[in-house]
Amino acid sequence: MRSERARTPLAAAIAAGRWIRSAAVDDERGRHWRPNPDLRGRTALTPEPASLYAGAAGIVLFFLELAAATGHEAYLEDARAGARYLAATWHEQRDPTLYHGLTGVAVALAEAGWTLDEDEFAEAAARAADHIVRTARPVDGGAGWSPEPALRGDGGVVLGLLRAAAVFGAPVYAELAAEAGARLARMAVPGHRFGECADLPTDAVTPGFLRGTAGTAFVLARLYAATGDRAFLNAARRGAGFVREVSTVTEEGVLVPHHLPHGRGLHYLGFCSGSAGVARMFYELYRITGDRGDLEWAELLARGVMRSGVPHRQTEGLWDNACQCCGAAGLLELFLGLWSATGREPYLAFSRTLADHLIARGWDPDGRGMRWYQAYRRVRPKEISADTGYMVGAAGIGAALLHLDAALRPGCSRRLVLLPDNPFSAIPVPAAALSDG
């Protein structure tokens, strides 16, 4: 049955937290969470006990936000137990990346250390960042960790190092980030990858965010803001120009192809490979340069989403999926961000529509809390699962709903926990609304 109590974004997030708690696994190292605690449940992914994408790092961030939203200390204890696990196991990570590896763990530990005032967690985050620095190696005439330039690869590591530099006041992190970014900036069109993904043709080019040009251009724009080196801005502009060139522009807005040349007519709408992610890149350029043409493109992408008929109508680019990565929760993050940036009420109204949709499709069949069943992979529509993690499951959906809850309380709005690739304000309301409050 559907949960009768989950009638508001906050209530749904609390119900999601209850289900995630049912997945807790405690041992001498701390706490992590099973990816799917349902009886005979199966995760949509290879289990990642610690990752930001689907494991403890993302769930720690969710519980920190749930504590801030409710004032309940018990959620801080959930986050503290998860952070202990991350602090005890970070050295086991072999993947350096943001979403699936050590960089994301370091981001979560730093946030937990600051929020919980625990030196143990902050020190573990710094040690993890030091390890990332030590493991950099020569790649394509520069520094890096892998041949993958996109946000899911070295681009995400660069963003994590820039955040670590700001948190810990350590220039060495920013210096290595700039060195690794220089390799990306030398690419004719940053972020192109051919044949790197098992589910794409071998000649595919991906303009999207998580594994394509838009996300790499975002990283380069952030490096320009950090360093003032115009080589980064020029490279970001080349990436943005490529995305503009291949996009479909109509009176209804802008849509971005999933991949080229074969997927030109396949338009994802979500964060990973579609409009919600690509709009972040254009907004980041606007935030840094003040060029209103970039803001216009971010809004054209948003218009394309709004006029597509989602979330009430499933499309090939937004199918039976609710999560942050490629579903409605990722769209909710975009529209809340645009509302906080522009104050335009249609964005807040559409955020409410997305949240109502998410709440309506959440399920609590056994009283253990709310979860979202979805087809994570578009190409496997009969593979339905519910997960606990941040980018793929209840923690990330709950976090998006908490962000709307904060936006609806301008008089007592709170700081959000935003990932390094989110360009919007951590206070999720327009400045004018804060002044009115």
Task: Give the up-direction half-sphere exposure of residue 229: CA atoms within 13 A in the CB hemisphere.
Answer: 16
Confidence (pLDDT) at 378? 86
Strand partners, 30: 27
Cβ-contact 324, 333 below 8 angstroms: yes
Does the pLDDT of residue 355 top 60, yes or no?
Answer: yes
Average pLDDT over residues 178-183: 97
Q: How many residues does the chain have?
A: 437
Confidence of residue 431 (pLDDT cuts 50, 70, 90): confident
Does the pLDDT of residue 281 top 80, yes or no?
Answer: yes
The verdict on whether omega for the bond into residue 311 sits within 30 degrees of 0, i.e. cis, is yes
Confidence (pLDDT) at 317? 86
Confidence (pLDDT) at 192? 62
Does the pLDDT of residue 437 top 60, yes or no?
Answer: no
Give the DSSP per-residue string, 144-177.
ESSS--STTTHHHHHHHHHHHHHHHT-HHHHHHH
Cβ-contact 350, 344 below 8 angstroms: no
Average pLDDT over residues 407-411: 90
Does the pLDDT of residue 108 top 80, yes or no?
Answer: yes
> Do the domain assignments include residue 1?
no
Q: What is the mean pLDDT of the chain?
A: 94
> Do the domain assignments include residue 355?
yes
Question: The domain containing residue 179 runs over which residues?
Answer: 9-429
> Do the domain assignments include residue 434?
no
| Percent above pLDDT 70 for the chain | 96
Q: pLDDT tens across 209-263, in order?
A: 999 999 999 999 999 999 999 999 999 999 999 999 999 999 999 999 999 988 8
Of the candidates 424, 414, 105, the residue with the CA atom closest to the CA atom of residue 281: 424
Cβ-contact 364, 15 below 8 angstroms: yes
> Do the domain assignments include residue 46?
yes
Residue 378, Cβ neighbours under 10 Å: how many?
18
Confidence of residue 413 (pLDDT cuts 50, 70, 90): confident
Confidence (pLDDT) at 399? 98
> Do the domain assignments include residue 437?
no
Does the pLDDT of residue 198 top 70, yes or no?
Answer: no
Q: How many domains does the chain fold into?
A: 1
Does the pLDDT of residue 1 top 80, yes or no?
Answer: no
Distance CA 392, CA 326 (A): 8
Average pLDDT over residues 167-191: 95
> Do the domain assignments include residue 4?
no
| Percent above pLDDT 90 for the chain | 84
Does the pLDDT of residue 191 top 60, yes or no?
Answer: yes
205 phi, psi to nearest 5 deg: -120, 135
Q: pLDDT tens across 222-237, in order?
A: 999 999 999 999 999 9
Average pLDDT over residues 111-120: 98
Cβ-contact 404, 11 below 8 angstroms: no
3-class secondary structure, 26: strand
| Helix ranges, 7-153 (H) | 9-21, 56-70, 73-89, 102-116, 119-134
Confidence (pLDDT) at 410? 84
Average pLDDT over residues 94-105: 98
Confidence of residue 3 (pLDDT cuts 50, 70, 90): very low
Q: Which residues contact 174 (CB under 8 A, 6 or more apart)?
A: 161, 162, 165, 226, 227
Cβ-contact 389, 46 below 8 angstroms: no
Confidence (pLDDT) at 262? 86
Residue 437, Cβ neighbours under 10 Å: how many?
11
19, 322, 396 from 5: Cα distances, Å: 14, 20, 20
> Do the domain assignments include residue 259?
yes
Does the pLDDT of residue 196 top 60, yes or no?
Answer: no
> Do the domain assignments include residue 114?
yes
The CATH number of residue 349's host domain is: 1.50.10.10
Confidence (pLDDT) at 249? 96
Does the pLDDT of residue 195 top 70, yes or no?
Answer: no
